[in-house]
Chains A and B, each alone.
Chain A
């Protein structure tokens, strides 16, 4: 039973345009959400997070939106750059549970 779902295995976006990566979750106890970026043969790196008390968090070109009623979050990258080509993972945790629950990832390809 996947509690965190990234339904798009891949996404192709033109350089300079907006990239929107989506993530859905089923566990209403999740209260902290994170996005990680991963290049091939490397470990993921933390990108941005959001607490359930907020509906938006921004960091430079990256913005995460949280819609609690829909149990949906999205990562917006504006403008998209070639270096953004990577696999993006959504992860969630509940309270003080130590375990992060991970989505399967979305491979983002930025076309020149």
Chain B
């Protein structure tokens, strides 16, 4: 069953704790993304990775960290430095058109809702 699996679906965290959100894909897509969605706002890019062992900061990377050790996996760590971490987090992958051009057509996981208590 091809797709993107995000876990956990719901997560509660105490202030000061780091948490890691998992994102696994078996679509064989090179590019992976982490977005954050807050009520009444569009998706905001946290980090993205175009290839294994390489990743780039998005618009709101502060307080987050990622790794891309395998093509299939792109975990996101929400650190205690993130001042307002309560949000809905979405992982996405992207197929490539040709060698270098991304299609812009993202495939999303079902999301992880993080609540800080």
Using a CB–CB cutoff of 8 Å, the interface residues on chain A facing chain B are 4, 9, 32, 34, 36, 41-46, 49, 89, 91, 93, 96, 98-105
Contacts and interface: CB of A to CB of B under 8 A. Distances in A.
A31 B111 CA distance: 28
A103 B37 CA distance: 11
A103 B110 CA distance: 20
B108 A89 contact: no
Q: Which of A41, A49, A96 has the most CB of B within 10 A?
A: A41
Given A42-B108, A98-B48, A99-B58, 14 more contacts: A9-B40, A41-B110, A41-B111, A43-B110, A44-B43, A49-B104, A49-B105, A91-B43, A91-B104, A99-B45, A100-B43, A101-B42, A103-B42, A104-B41
Contact of B43 (A32, A49, A96, A102): A102
Q: Is the interface of B mostly helix, strand, loop or mixed?
A: strand
B109 interface: yes
A99 B60 CA distance: 13
A69 B23 CA distance: 40
Interface string B29-60: 00100000000111111001010000010110
